Structure 1
Amino acid sequence: MLIQIDDLSTSDIRSLLAFHVADLQQKSPSESCYVLDITSLQKPEVTVYAARDNDQLLGCAALKELSPTTGEIKSMRTAPEHLRKGVARTLLQHLIIQARERKYEKLYLETGVDEAFSQARTLYLKSGFEYCGPYGGYVARGPNCFMKFEL
């Protein structure tokens, strides 16, 4: 598996991210759905990484800079045909390494609280994330789960 910065120009990653947005909008109430669309993922403060095996897209994840000392994980998604193969765990570890290289002190994320998000929460907890309150302008106004990782 090779993980590299992606410019979001290929159809496979654009399709995966469109699926990601549609899936989260279906699972989350609009007032608590903070998924980023392609345009938002192309902003300078966001770096998107793609995991590939040869030319096959396995998954993606983004690291958003909130401040010079804090980052946020966004758009973690494994391609459906590659679930349960360690793609998400590998992408998460890559983001943690990138955050350390950027000298971040904390890494945050927001996810859902219902059963559809339970495997993601388990992955984050096993990786050292802890529950926390809203951060970076988020407001707890729905079924959201906020987590942080002390670097």
Structure 2
Amino acid sequence: MVIEGVELRPAPPTDADVLALTTAQQTELAAMYGADQPLVALHPDIAFTVLTLDSTAVGCVGLQPVGPGLGEIKRMYVVPSARGWGLSRILLEAVETQARERGLTRLRLETGTKQVEAIALYTHHGFHPTPPYPPFENEAVSLCYAKDL
């Protein structure tokens, strides 16, 4: 499915659109989970992809290196007004392509128990539940998933 007006662009973590989108995501998660939300710093080598719709940034996803062959999806987010159109699927496919291009053979991610749409997206695209990995092993609201590429 092609959505008119959608463009993807690479961006560093200091990009203004990335900062705005990840701040909005963290605000939304804080409202959803309160003090239960795990706060995790990003790796300095994280690479973001920004999704624009008619030249307006409406989504992003980060690919964070973890170790040989392993990457982690971080800060995947689509603004509420742009949800339901398949934009998160476009972001997920883009980050998987980027991971393969970097020689990664496995992707992992963490999401929350209340994010049912995200859980459905990830499982539909071949991510399988895994035991929680650090620093999420003691987080009751965290669910971890992984996919071999």
Q: Shorter-chain TM-score: which interval?
A: 0.7 to 0.9
Please give the residue correspondences for 1:18-33 in structure 2 after superposition, counting only pairs within 5 Å.
18-28=23-33, 30=35, 32-33=37-38
* Alpha-carbon distance between aligned partners in 2 of 1:54 and 1:68, rounded to the nearest angstrom: 37
* Alpha-carbon distance between aligned partners in 1 of 2:44 and 2:27, rounded to the nearest angstrom: 24
Q: Aligned residue for 2:50?
A: 50
Q: Aligned residue for 1:77?
A: 77
Q: Aligned residue for 1:149?
A: 147
Aligned residues: 143
Query: Once the two structures are aligned, what percentage of the paired residues are identical?
Result: 26
List structure 1 segments (4+ residues) > 4 angstroms apart after TM superposition. none
What is the Cα deviation at residue 136 of structure 1? Answer: 4.8
Is the Cα–Cα contact under 8 Å of residues 65 and 72 in structure 2 kept in the other structure? Answer: yes
- Is 1:59 the counterpart of 2:59 in the alignment? yes
CA spacing shift, 1:129–1:71, aligned 2, 3 Å: same
Q: Aligned residue for 1:15?
A: 20
Is the Cα–Cα contact under 8 Å of residues 18 and 48 in structure 2 kept in the other structure? Answer: no
* Alpha-carbon distance between aligned partners in 1 of 2:69 and 2:75, rounded to the nearest angstrom: 20
What is the Cα deviation at residue 16 of structure 1? Answer: 2.2
Deviations 1:18-63 (A, max 9, x none): 1111111222254552455xxx4xx532011101134211210101
CA spacing shift, 1:136–1:66, aligned 2, 3 Å: farther
What's the TM-score once normalised by structure 2's chain length?
0.85
DSSP 3-state at the match of 2:75: strand
Supply the RMSD in Å over aligned alpha carbons: 1.9
What is the Cα deviation at residue 103 of structure 1? Answer: 1.2
What's the TM-score once normalised by structure 1's chain length?
0.84
CA spacing shift, 1:44–1:35, aligned 2, 3 Å: closer
Q: Which runs of 5+ in 1 are unaligned?
A: none
* Alpha-carbon distance between aligned partners in 2 of 1:17 and 1:70, rounded to the nearest angstrom: 22
* Alpha-carbon distance between aligned partners in 1 of 2:87 and 2:79, rounded to the nearest angstrom: 9
Q: Aligned residue for 2:128?
A: 130
* Alpha-carbon distance between aligned partners in 1 of 2:80 and 2:139, rounded to the nearest angstrom: 30
Is the Cα–Cα contact under 8 Å of residues 66 and 136 in structure 1 kept in the other structure? Answer: no
